[in-house]
Amino acid sequence: MFALLKRMFEKKQPPKEKLPFYDIVCPFCFSTFQHEDVVFRATHHREDDEALALQEDELLNNYRAKFGLAGIDELEAIIYPSMIPTENMLFSDHVLMGVSDKYSVVTRNRLCPSCHNDLPVTAAKHPSNIVSIVGATSVGKSVYMTSLIHTLQHVTANNFNAACLPLDNEISRRFRQDYEIPLFEKGNLFAPTAKSKRQEPFLFQFIFKDEGQSPLTLVFFDVAGEGMTDKEYIKLHAAHIKNSAGILFLVDPMQIRAIREKMIHQMGEKPGEIVAQGDEPREVVISLFGDFIAHLENSKTTIPTAVVLTKSDLLIALKHDDSEYIRTNSNVFRNVEHRGHLDLDEFENINGEIRRFLEKVDTPFVNALDVYFKDTSYFAVSSLGSNPNKQQVTGIISPIRVDEPFIWLLYKLGFIEGRHVQ
């Protein structure tokens, strides 16, 4: 009877309203605009027409210069819809998708009006939901991103009758070659992301097989951790955080001073030397606050934020039956698969345990989150399932709970429901 009543009153998110079209968020410069504001790249050029001659694209080259990339000398011209007669505009589901120029040549190559990068074909037809991954240096953002996408493609999508697909072949090639193969096939960890290195976003879609349900567009922007407390760097990169639908805030247990000494005692000096170079979690919160949260209403962001304790396998060193930190029967070490819905019982267990853990070991960090973030939940993940040795993974990679924070974001954004099943 209790279980029946529990299910009757369980939390459910309201269904997402299907709109004729949505605001577009550029996955490159993260500006927001309407579908009729896009511009187009011509598909041909003419030497006898200055308007359609090959030319320098100043906005695109300005964008590239911010990341230290060489400019492109000549490209096809930009076509502005405002210069095109209405009868030459091509619409699909009320969305401007193409134009026909004065030579009756059609282009469907839509660009962001601010940076002139290509837009996803789904832009405006579906929500531009951006998921940002933030955290300090050495927290494991690149490894977590790789493990998460790998898990979404091979496990999670099947559990939710969906598919997780890269937006184009170039993204698929880059992810496989630079991230998935080195980690999952060769067992090699990545060097920390350098501030000087441009990190092009990885664009994926989580597409449900139910055609009546909108897909979720994912933009994973791998930002260098050391830049998260550098004022100038965060101005350049953090626009994507402001326009995010959800945030994955990664926290390394070795960057929390209250437990670092205990861990070093168990594991030796090297892990402590590595994490000592990074910033403490609350310093990242303070940087985010100064850059954009302070300018929001009530100085608090409403973006759903999953606080993700990474490298959870390291916590085995603290495990004990009567430990004040991690008990032997902790949820942290047990992998969980959510199928078709967010299991609210499992979620509430891990959320409560990790929040209590962080309150004990880093009270200022949790207090800062409570002050600046309106909607947070707490998770623990292991991207690899074990602790690597000298930047090398030995044995089979077995991620633990890596997709749970993402599934919670799906729930918060109304794409799936949550159920109590016990």
Residue 272 has pLDDT above 60, yes or no: no
Is residue 147 domain-shared with residue 33, that is, in the same domain?
A: no
> Does residue 101 form part of some domain?
yes
Is residue 180 domain-shared with residue 257, that is, in the same domain?
A: yes
Q: What percent of the chain has pLDDT over 70?
A: 76
Highest mean pLDDT among 121-125, 139-143, 287-291: 121-125
Q: Among 111, 139, 174, identify where a domain stops.
A: 111
pLDDT at 271: 47
Is residue 203 domain-shared with residue 284, that is, in the same domain?
A: yes
- Helices marked H in 47-194: 58-66, 141-151, 157-159, 169-175
Is residue 323 domain-shared with residue 220, that is, in the same domain?
A: yes
3-state secondary structure of 315: helix
Highest mean pLDDT among 56-70, 119-133, 148-162, 377-391: 148-162
Task: Report the domain count for the chain.
Answer: 2
Q: 68 or 122, which is more confident?
A: 122
> Does residue 10 form part of some domain?
no
Is residue 81 domain-shared with residue 201, that is, in the same domain?
A: no
Residue 217 has pLDDT above 60, yes or no: yes
> Does residue 376 form part of some domain?
yes
Mean pLDDT over all residues of the chain?
A: 82
Q: 216 or 295, which is more confident?
A: 216
User: In this structure, what are the phi and psi dihedrals at residue 276, rounded to the nearest 5 degrees?
Assistant: -65, -20
pLDDT at 292: 63
pLDDT band at 294 (very low <50, low <70, confident <90, very high): low
Is residue 181 domain-shared with residue 283, that is, in the same domain?
A: yes
pLDDT at 235: 60
Domain harbouring 268, CATH code: 3.40.50.300
Q: Among 83, 111, 139, identify where a domain stops.
A: 111
> Does residue 13 form part of some domain?
no
Mean pLDDT, residues 120-140: 79
Q: 242 or 6, which is more confident?
A: 242
Q: Among 111, 140, 174, identify where a domain stops.
A: 111
Mean pLDDT, residues 144-159: 95
> Does residue 73 form part of some domain?
yes
> Does residue 2 form part of some domain?
no
Is residue 155 domain-shared with residue 75, that is, in the same domain?
A: no
Those residues whose C-beta lies under 8 Å from the C-beta of residue 248, and which sit 6 or more positions away, are 131, 132, 133, 134, 144, 305, 306, 308, 405, 406, 409
pLDDT at 9: 43
Question: What is the secondary structure of 329-366 as a DSSP string?
Answer: T-GGGS-----SSEEHHHHHHHHHHHHHHHHHH-HHHH
Print the domain residue range for 192: 131-419
Those residues whose C-beta lies under 8 Å from the C-beta of residue 210, and which sit 6 or more positions away, are 161
Is residue 103 domain-shared with residue 155, that is, in the same domain?
A: no
Buried b / exposed e along 235-262 (16+ C-beta atoms within 10 A):
eebbbbbbbbbbbbbbbbbbbbeebbee
pLDDT at 48: 94
pLDDT band at 275 (very low <50, low <70, confident <90, very high): very low
CA–CA separation, 304 and 199 (whole Å)? 24
pLDDT at 223: 56
Those residues whose C-beta lies under 8 Å from the C-beta of residue 382, and which sit 6 or more positions away, are 310, 311, 312, 313, 399, 400, 401, 402
Task: Record the pTM.
Answer: 0.81
Kindly state the tokens that stand for 163.
């598919």
Is residue 163 domain-shared with residue 64, that is, in the same domain?
A: no
Residue 203 has pLDDT above 90, yes or no: no
CA–CA separation, 234 and 31 (whole Å)? 16
pLDDT tens digits for 340-398?
A: 999 999 999 999 999 998 998 888 889 888 988 899 999 999 999 887 776 778 778 89
Rounded to a whole number of angstroms, the distance between the first and last alpha carbons of the chain is 12
Residue 327 sits at the vertex; the CA angle it makes with 326 and 333, to the nearest 5 degrees, is 75
Is residue 168 domain-shared with residue 51, that is, in the same domain?
A: no
Mean pLDDT, residues 162-185: 90
Is residue 288 domain-shared with residue 362, that is, in the same domain?
A: yes
> Does residue 5 form part of some domain?
no
Those residues whose C-beta lies under 8 Å from the C-beta of residue 75, and which sit 6 or more positions away, are 41, 54, 55, 56, 57, 60
> Does residue 22 form part of some domain?
no
Is residue 87 domain-shared with residue 224, that is, in the same domain?
A: no
Q: What percent of the chain has pLDDT over 90?
A: 41
Q: 118 or 394, which is more confident?
A: 118
